[in-house]
């Protein structure tokens, strides 16, 4: 399947726990004031790569702890990212977790999920989700992996099982991921 991307980073330590491969997708409908990546807003820009090509790039780096879908808005390309997540989670060479950023809230995605948009299928593949738009007046440099204090670092598996948001704990120090 084809994915519209803005770029790829193969050794990020700022897009989630550990060392991560980050896929920046192209296209975002949120247009948050103060967004760091406004070049990813247009759905016309970026470039197209297949999920297979991206997966082959990912598995070149055995030091990775996981893969992050960032943007842009990953939930505008759920079908391709679900396919890519399945490749990552099924890979037997080394274990990786999967995380996404979204400008939607977890509650919005759950309430609006349907077969056409594929929100739930992508959520089911995720270990972590950072949700909510970037809010300039809540911007903070103290937050770990988040830009503004309205955003939440969510344990998706636990949240889906509980039917409500459960915040994630840092896998290394076992504290709730909020502050640096
Ligand atoms: S959701 Fe993210 S990429 Fe989209 S405008 Fe907001 S900060 Fe930028």
The residue whose CB lies within 8 Å of the most ligand 1 atoms, and thus the one to mutate among 71, 74, 77, 151, is 71
Q: Is 31 touching ligand 1 by the criterion CB < 6 Å?
A: yes
Q: Crossing angle of helices 78-90/51-58, nearest 10°?
A: 40
**Total domain count for the chain?**
1
Question: Atom 8 of ligand 1 has which residue's CA nearest to it?
Answer: 35
Q: Say how many CA atoms lie within 13 Å of 42 toward its Cβ.
A: 5
User: Tens digit of pLDDT for each residue in 129-177?
Assistant: 999 999 999 999 888 899 999 999 999 999 999 999 999 976 555 556 6
Query: Mean pLDDT throughout 48-61?
Result: 98
pLDDT at residue 153 in the model: 94
User: How many angstroms does the Cα of residue 60 sit away from the middle of ligand 1?
Assistant: 29
- Residue 180 pLDDT exceeds 70: no
Within a domain: residue 114?
yes
Within a domain: residue 180?
no
pLDDT at residue 73 in the model: 98
Question: Atom 6 of ligand 1 has which residue's CA nearest to it?
Answer: 32
- Residue 178 pLDDT exceeds 90: no
Within a domain: residue 179?
no
What's the mean per-residue pLDDT of the chain?
A: 94
Q: Give me the domain span that covers residue 159.
A: 2-174
Q: Which two tokens mark 3?
A: 């994915």
Q: What is the dihedral of CA 26, 159, 174, 89, to 10 degrees?
A: -50
The residue whose CB lies within 8 Å of the most ligand 1 atoms, and thus the one to mutate among 30, 39, 72, 101, is 30
Residue 80 binned pLDDT confidence (cut-offs 50, 70, 90): very high
Within a domain: residue 21?
yes
Within a domain: residue 71?
yes
Within a domain: residue 27?
yes
CATH of the domain at 24: 3.20.20.70
Q: Minimal CA–CA distance to 90: which of 51, 129, 48?
A: 51
Nearest atom (ligand 1) to Cα of 101 = 2
């Amino acid at each position: 399947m084809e994915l519209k991307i803005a770029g790829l980073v193969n050794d990020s330590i700022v897009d989630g726990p550990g060392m991560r491969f980050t896929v920046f997708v192209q296209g975002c409908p949120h247009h948050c004031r103060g967004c760091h990546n406004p070049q990813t807003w247009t759905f016309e820009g970026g470039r197209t790569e297949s999920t297979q090509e991206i997966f082959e790039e990912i598995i070149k780096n055995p030091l990775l702890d996981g893969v992050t879908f960032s943007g842009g808005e990953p939930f505008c390309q759920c079908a391709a990212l679900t396919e890519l997540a399945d490749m990552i989670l099924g890979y037997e060479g080394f274990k990786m977790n999967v995380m996404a950023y979204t400008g939607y809230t977890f509650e919005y995605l759950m309430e609006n999920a349907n077969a056409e948009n594929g929100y739930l299928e992508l959520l089911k593949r995720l270990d972590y989700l950072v949700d909510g738009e970037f809010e300039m007046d809540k911007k903070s440099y103290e937050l770990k992996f988040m830009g503004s204090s309205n955003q939440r670092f969510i344990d998706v598996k636990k949240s889906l099982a509980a039917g409500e948001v459960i915040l994630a704990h840092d896998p290394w120090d076992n504290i709730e991921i909020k502050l640096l």
